Amino acid sequence: MRDCTGGDVITLRVEVDGGRVFNIGDSPRAEIEITTPSNTAVEIRSGNGGVEVYGLKQSGTVCASNGRIILDKVAREFNVATSNGIVVITGARVPFDVEINNNGIEFDGELIKGSSNKIATSNGSIDISLQGASSVMLDASTSNGSIETEYWILTSSPGDEHHLVKTIGAGEAELIVRTSNGSVAIR
CB 53 within 8 A of CB 74: yes
Residue 100 domain-assigned (yes or no): yes
The amino acid at residue 13 is R
- Residue 141 has phi, psi (to 5 degrees) of -150, 150
- Residue 11 has phi, psi (to 5 degrees) of -120, 125
Q: Which of 85, 172, 179, 162 is nearest to 128 (CA)?
A: 179
Residues in the chain: 187
Rounded to whole angstroms, how far apart are CA atoms 53 and 72?
Answer: 6
Q: Report the 10 Å Cβ neighbour count for 30.
A: 10
Residue 11 domain-assigned (yes or no): no
| Residue 121 pLDDT class (50, 70, 90 cuts) | very high
Domain holding 136, by residue range, is 42-186
Residue 31 domain-assigned (yes or no): no
Residue 117 domain-assigned (yes or no): yes
Residue 4 has pLDDT above 60, yes or no: no
Residue 68 domain-assigned (yes or no): yes
- Number of domains within the chain: 1
Residues 35-55 have a mean pLDDT of 88
Rounded to whole angstroms, how far apart are CA atoms 124 and 102?
Answer: 6
So what's the pLDDT on residue 186?
A: 93
Residue 23 or 74, more confident: 74
Residue 2 domain-assigned (yes or no): no
Give the list of residues 6+ apart from residue 138 with CB closer than 8 angstroms, or none: 149, 164, 165, 166, 167, 168, 175, 177, 186
Residue 23 has pLDDT above 60, yes or no: no
Residue 107 domain-assigned (yes or no): yes
Residue 19 has pLDDT above 60, yes or no: no
Residues 68-96 have a mean pLDDT of 90
Residue 18 domain-assigned (yes or no): no
Residue 64 has pLDDT above 80, yes or no: yes
Query: How many angstroms from the chain centroid is the CA of residue 149?
Result: 20
Pairing of strands 69-72, 116-121: unpaired
User: Mean pLDDT score of the chain, rounded to an integer?
Assistant: 84
Pairing of strands 126-130, 173-179: unpaired
